[in-house]
């Protein structure tokens, strides 16, 4: 549902080429890997998109990317994820 040409390109860029591969990944990992690959910080909404598509790949349940924004913000506030403004090495 949330994979258009840009997101598809990002996934291919970081080595995810199938739904099966996507289902085995974590949004945190995908986001950090993309930031490292392109060498710059990404919009946090892309993290939400990764969360939505990983969930869909695992469960078949479709949800809009923005349905995951509150969960990302909750996890950030709890210190469970650090998306940072700079890509990690």
Buried b (16+ CB within 10 A) or exposed e, 37-57: eeeeebebebbbbbbbbbbbb
More confident residue, 82 or 14: 14
3-state SS class at 3: coil
Strand residues in the chain grouped as ranges (E)? none
Residue 56: the pLDDT is 98
Q: Give how far Cα 60 sits from Cα of 7, 46, 51, Å.
A: 18, 20, 13
Stretch 16-32: mean pLDDT: 96
Q: Tell me the pTM.
A: 0.91
| pLDDT higher than threshold 90 for residue 86 | no
Residue 88: the pLDDT is 44
At 89, the pLDDT band (50, 70, 90 cuts) reads very low
| pLDDT higher than threshold 90 for residue 87 | no
Q: What is the pLDDT of residues 27-73, one digit of tens each?
A: 999 999 999 999 999 999 999 999 999 999 999 999 999 999 999 99
């Amino acid at each position: 549902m949330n994979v258009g040409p840009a997101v598809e390109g990002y996934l291919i860029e970081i080595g995810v080429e199938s739904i099966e591969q996507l289902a085995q990944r974590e949004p945190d990992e995908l986001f950090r890997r993309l930031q490292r690959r392109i060498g710059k910080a990404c919009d946090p909404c892309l993290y939400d998109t990764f969360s939505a598509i990983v969930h869909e790949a695992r469960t078949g349940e479709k949800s809009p990317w923005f349905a995951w924004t509150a969960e990302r913000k909750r996890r950030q506030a709890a210190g469970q994820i650090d998306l940072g403004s700079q890509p990690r090495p």
